[in-house]
């Protein structure tokens, strides 16, 4: 199986060709072919999704530009070694009493940060563990030893992440240094299409409720 590290920011992501122009927000493109080992495990990040073909022609862009508020983009990134981080994953999965907002997003602060809150459009860094409702981990930035870097509040991540970090609609903003559990209904995650689907099987099945344990590090 494949192991796909999904970090963005200073290391510019490579994204697949898509017929939907709304999903792409930058212009400069460099084509790259990436080969994958068949001994790794598939993962899915809040901004990216697997492609069905293990060898694909990708595009490289200056900025993230995924626009997941409009839909899904199939993404494959170059393999990196993954250090063991089982302790971080187990700590993130600790129970937490959730508060449900009007949008359906539920949240719980495990650690309230002491730094500044994020500003819409700001480039920020965050660690996370993503789990299905049954507890199965589908991705973890801790496993890669590197936080996710993205621009907040402009559609570069799924809707539940923008609201869960920036706040709004009954959700307080996260402060830098804070750790928060988010429970996303399907409409704030990957919706009816799911993610990482191949041969009738999906890493994130359609209409999945997702749990994310997010550590907001601060601006990048």
Residues forming the active site: 128, 138-139, 158, 190, 212
Nearest CA to 48 out of 120, 137, 148, 124 is that of 148
The Cα–Cα gap between 160 and 141 comes to 17
With beta carbons less than 8 A apart as the criterion, state whether 214 and 164 touch.
yes
Closest CA to 182 of 117, 120, 96: 96
Tell me the C-alpha distance between 154 and 35, whole Å.
31
Helices (H), 105-213: 141-144, 159-166
147-137-96 Cα angle (round to 5): 85
């Amino acid at each position: 199986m494949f192991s796909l590290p999904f970090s963005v920011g200073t290391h510019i992501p490579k994204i697949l060709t898509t017929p939907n122009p709304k999903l792409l927000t930058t212009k400069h493109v460099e084509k790259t072919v990436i080969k994958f080992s068949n001994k790794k495990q598939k993962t899915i990040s809040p901004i990216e999704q697997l492609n069905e073909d293990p060898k694909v022609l990708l595009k490289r862009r200056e900025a993230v530009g995924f626009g997941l508020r409009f839909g899904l983009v199939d993404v494959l990134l170059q393999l990196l070694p993954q250090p063991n981080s089982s302790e971080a994953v187990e700590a993130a999965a600790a129970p937490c009493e959730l508060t449900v907002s009007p949008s359906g997003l539920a949240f719980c602060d495990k650690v309230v940060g002491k730094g500044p809150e994020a500003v819409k459009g700001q480039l920020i860094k965050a660690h996370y563990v993503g789990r299905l409702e049954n507890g199965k981990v589908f991705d973890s930035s801790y496993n890669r030893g590197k936080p996710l870097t993205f621009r907040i509040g402009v559609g570069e991540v799924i809707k539940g992440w923008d609201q869960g970090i920036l706040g709004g609609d009954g959700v307080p903003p996260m402060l830098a240094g804070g750790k928060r559990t988010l429970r996303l209904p399907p409409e704030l995650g990957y919706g009816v299409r799911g993610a990482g689907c191949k041969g009738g099987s999906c890493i994130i099945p359609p209409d999945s409720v997702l749990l994310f344990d997010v550590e907001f590090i601060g601006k990048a």
